[in-house]
Amino acid sequence: MDKEIVERVARIAHLDLTEEELERYGEDLSEILEYFQMLDEIPGEDTLGFNPIIVADVLREDEPRMDIEPEEILKGMKTYEGYVRGPRLS
């Protein structure tokens, strides 16, 4: 995998890689994807499932409830006047 593609993938994945990492991961991914080419040999099934078992929608009664108090969840976060703090929007 050439360096430009690794850089593009890293940008999409929000990873800032050093020159050494770009080169190393590029070599690793090239070797891995070359091996994965064997997937081209097999047609696979016509259908594809996102889970290995059949999963049905299971819905509970639509009744409001509170499993965990919001204050408990906020304890582990940086907050300001009850709001979660994040980076600048621009």
Query: Where along the sequence are the contacts to other proteins (CB under 8 A)?
Result: 1, 5-6, 9-10, 12-17, 21, 25, 28-29, 31-33, 35-36, 38-58, 60, 67-69, 72-73, 75-78, 84-90
What letters, b where the CB count within 10 A reaches 16 and e where it falls short, cover 34-47?
eeeeeeeeeeeeee
Q: How far is the CB of 19 from other proteins (least distance, A)?
A: 14
Q: How far is the CB of 27 from other proteins (least distance, A)?
A: 9
Structure tokens at 2: 């050439």
Structure tokens at 27: 């070599």
Q: How far is the CB of 61 from other proteins (least distance, A)?
A: 10
